[in-house]
Structure 1
Amino acid sequence: MMVNEDHVKASDTQSTCLQEFVNSPEKQKALYKRTLFVVSVSQIFGGAGLAAGVTVGALIAQQMLGTDAYAGVPTALFTLGSAGAAWLVGKLSQKKGRRAGLTTGFILGGVGAIGVIFSAILNSVFLLFLSLLVYGSGTATNLQARYAGTDLAKAKQRGTA
């Protein structure tokens, strides 16, 4: 019984907080600016980190395999993983909301990045290739996160956002 009462209180608190934003154009504008800033900064750092990771993955593969013959395989796996994750994150976002989809995608990208590190430590090409496939989730998610900036934008601001 207490759990239900706590849930109702939390729900009422959220409704009150949301209502303050609905009724206040100033608060809406401040939230929009803050959201756009956070999305922009995350795009800069996320994009740079993901690009560096793919480059490092290709260099690790070259070192492990001892040849340049398969230098494109890491990038191809990364791209394939990104395509699959775009579909997965999109579906999850439709069912559970953008936050759940983006969170899942970024976590998978992080798991892939950790896998790349372990593959280098263990000198495992198989683990490297598998990790790069999962690492692609980070790129797909980073690209989809750009649209979070448009969620709060008014109709006239959507192109700029």
Structure 2
Amino acid sequence: MGYDRYAAICQPLHYAILMAGGLPFCGSNKVNNYFCDISAAIRLACADTYINELIIFIGGVLVLVVPLIFICISYGFIVSTVLKISSAEGKRKAFSTCASHLIVVIVHYGCASSVYLRPSAQYTTGTDRLVTVTYTVITPLLNPMVYSLRNRDVQLAIRKMIRKTGFSVKSL
């Protein structure tokens, strides 16, 4: 969609030629998703989409798997270094620092990989909608919450708010 808008605005005289190589769509033009995701749009095509799906898969590998490999290598070094710490308290603090980031990484990369790195025969629209919402909405919301809850000032403010409302941690 971004390229379509670019071609329409920046290359208006070439628009018809640039966009003529697209997939033919027939039948319903309604994308059964919360936003126009490429995998949902390809399902509407009437032609063979093998090449398109292969390009999406290769793009998914480059965008998802390569960074994930680097993250895993980084965490391998972190685990190796933390295991060299002699005190149990030091190990706990080091691992707790990484835990929140690791949760966000697992949710984001797990969900995105399940959408973009699977065969087309395994499309399930209902699951796709849930997964795409998870990695596009939940992950960005989860990130600041996880990191702010680690802040002592935020923890104290939450405790004060709980005390003011009359709830206790034991009652929750």
The TM-score with structure 1 as length reference comes to 0.39
Q: Which has the higher contact order (CA 8 A, sep 6+)?
A: 1
Larger radius of gyration: 2
